[in-house]
């Protein structure tokens, strides 16, 4: 709804990586790791920081949680932990805003990264004090609290709580981009960026928001690999609550998600069909042996 120009560079690399992992059935060779790195460069070249953390985390979860590698051997867990850390390490050093020197290939400082992430999501100490005194929220992190405080979203009547204020004002950005509250004026008590969930609650109310989440759940969990479905769902929630809700509602990333679902389900159906045929053939052979 309140579309963020760089948003696709956040979600597309991640869903593309999931799709590539699925195509390769989780079996990577050297060239596959190069391709995975190149996919991440889409986010790095666009100056996006969220994928630097989320991308290696999801990559790790694919190999360990979805493919159940953790049950095979502890060395496998250590191997993919190292891989995830290396992706994170090089991602940080290739992103100027995440290094103390503010330049590409600057130093890797975990304390600086932690502070940067904290300030980005919750504001620095000075902002926190000022906003606390004014009873305002700040940043994507505290923006999450807005979703449970309708008064801060200026939803006062029961009708507004259920159905929101309508989509028109936000859709045309009448008072600026809704999710960038420091550059808009919708009357909500928040400074800085918030997730698209805030815009949806404001425009469609809690009832409309619930239906959107249920719609997303229905799509995501149509995939027959439930571990993969849970992983995609948790990323959807992250994107929905803190970013632009583009994973399922932006055409490019949505197409990739649908391709993931179709690809896995069709492959699964083929396997079931194959094993069913083998089983029936074996059954026929056994019957013929008994008769003879």
Q: Which tens digit of pLDDT belongs to each residue from 230-243?
A: 999 999 999 999 88
Q: Is residue 219 domain-resident?
A: yes
Q: Is residue 63 domain-resident?
A: yes
Measured over the CA atoms of residue 8, residue 13, residue 19 and residue 20, the dihedral's sign is positive
Q: Is residue 1 domain-resident?
A: no
Domain count, the chain: 1
Q: Is residue 292 domain-resident?
A: no
* Segment 163-182, tens digit of pLDDT: 998 887 777 777 777 776 66
Q: Residue 200: which of 210, 185, 191, 192 has the closest Cα?
A: 210
Does residue 129 surpass a pLDDT of 70?
no
Q: Is residue 274 domain-resident?
A: yes
Least confident of 11-20, 38-47, 217-226, 227-236: 38-47
- Helical axes 8-23 vs 251-291, angle rounded to 10°: 20
Six-digit token string for 30 = 């050297």
Does residue 183 surpass a pLDDT of 80?
no
Q: Which residues of 16-48 are buried (b: 16+ CB within 10 A; e: fewer)?
A: bbbbebbeeeeebeeeeeeebeebbebbbebeb
Higher per-residue pLDDT: 215 or 169:
215
Six-digit token string for 254 = 């949505």
The residues, ordered by sequence, that sit 6+ positions from 128 with a Cβ below 8 Å of its Cβ are: 122, 138
CA-atom Rg of the chain in angstroms = 23
How high is the pLDDT of residue 52? Answer: 92
How high is the pLDDT of residue 3? Answer: 45
How high is the pLDDT of residue 250? Answer: 87
Higher per-residue pLDDT: 148 or 173:
148
How high is the pLDDT of residue 4? Answer: 47
Q: Which residues of 251-282 are buried (b: 16+ CB within 10 A; e: fewer)?
A: eebbebbeebbeebeeeeeeeeeeeeeeeeee
Does residue 125 surpass a pLDDT of 70?
no
49 pLDDT band, cuts 50/70/90, is confident
Q: Give the domain extent around 138.
A: 8-286
Mean pLDDT on 215-222: 96
Q: Is residue 244 domain-resident?
A: yes
Work out the percent of the chain whose per-residue pLDDT is above 70: 82
Higher per-residue pLDDT: 207 or 176:
207
Q: Is residue 146 domain-resident?
A: yes
Q: Is residue 124 domain-resident?
A: yes
Mean pLDDT on 199-225: 94
CA distances from 260 to 56, 125, 189 (A): 19, 43, 39
CA distances from 84 to 32, 46, 61, 89, 110 (A): 15, 21, 10, 9, 15
């Amino acid at each position: 709804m309140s579309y963020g120009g760089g948003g696709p560079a956040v979600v597309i690399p991640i869903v593309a990586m999931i799709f590539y992992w699925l195509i390769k059935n989780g079996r990577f060779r050297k060239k596959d790791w190069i391709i995975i790195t190149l996919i991440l460069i889409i986010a790095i070249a666009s100056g996006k920081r969220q994928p630097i953390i989320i991308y290696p985390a999801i990559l790790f979860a694919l190999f360990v949680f979805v493919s159940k590698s953790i049950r095979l051997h502890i060395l496998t867990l250590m191997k993919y932990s190292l891989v995830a850390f290396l992706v994170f390490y090089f991602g940080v050093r290739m992103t100027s805003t995440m290094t103390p020197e503010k330049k590409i290939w600057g130093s890797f400082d975990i304390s600086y990264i932690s502070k940067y992430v904290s300030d980005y999501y919750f504001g620095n100490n000075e902002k926190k004090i000022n906003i606390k005194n004014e009873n305002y929220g700040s940043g994507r992190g505290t923006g999450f609290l807005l979703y449970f405080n309708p008064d801060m979203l200026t939803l006062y009547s029961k009708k507004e709580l259920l159905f929101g204020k309508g989509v028109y004002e936000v859709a045309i950005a009448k008072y600026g981009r809704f999710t960038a509250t420091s550059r808009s004026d919708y009357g909500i008590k928040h400074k800085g960026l918030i997730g698209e969930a805030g815009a949806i609650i404001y425009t469609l109310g809690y009832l409309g928001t619930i239906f959107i989440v249920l719609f997303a759940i229905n799509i995501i969990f149509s995939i027959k690999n439930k571990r993969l479905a849970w992983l995609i769902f948790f990323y959807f929630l992250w994107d929905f609550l803190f970013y632009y809700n583009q994973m399922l509602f932006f055409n490019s990333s949505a197409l990739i998600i649908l391709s993931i679902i179709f690809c896995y389900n069709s492959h699964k159906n083929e396997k079931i069909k194959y094993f069913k045929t083998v089983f029936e053939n074996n059954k026929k052979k056994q019957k013929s042996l008994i008769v003879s």
